Amino acid sequence: MAYDINDPTDLDIMRSNFDIISGAEWDEYIEEAESRNMSYKNINILKTARRKAGISKYLSPKVILWVLNLVEKLDFDEEE
């Protein structure tokens, strides 16, 4: 999904979508990213997301967007 980080509604949706992902789910995303040999930066930002699980207010909109895009990519690739 394409989010607009300048739209307050989209920002609320992004934060909500981030906050519902549990620490255990973040661990799964990190393992999947590592098994696919994703870049160090992508794996590192997923680890940051795990530390901030459920508290999106401490992350910038750009970081949340980056993480949600990674999650979407990992989920989409997994389905194929």
Distance CA 18, CA 10 (A): 12
Q: What is the pLDDT of residue 76?
A: 87
Q: What is the pLDDT of residue 58?
A: 93
Extents of the domains making up the chain: 8-79
pLDDT in tens, 18-71: 999 999 999 999 999 999 999 999 999 999 999 999 999 999 999 999 999 999
**pTM score:** 0.89
* Helix, strand, or coil (residue 38): coil
Distance CA 75, CA 10 (A): 20
Distance CA 66, CA 63 (A): 5
- Selection from 48, 56, 50, 51 nearest residue 26 by Cα: 50
Share of the chain above pLDDT 70, in %: 95
- Whether the CB-CB separation of 45 and 63 falls below 8 Å is answered with yes
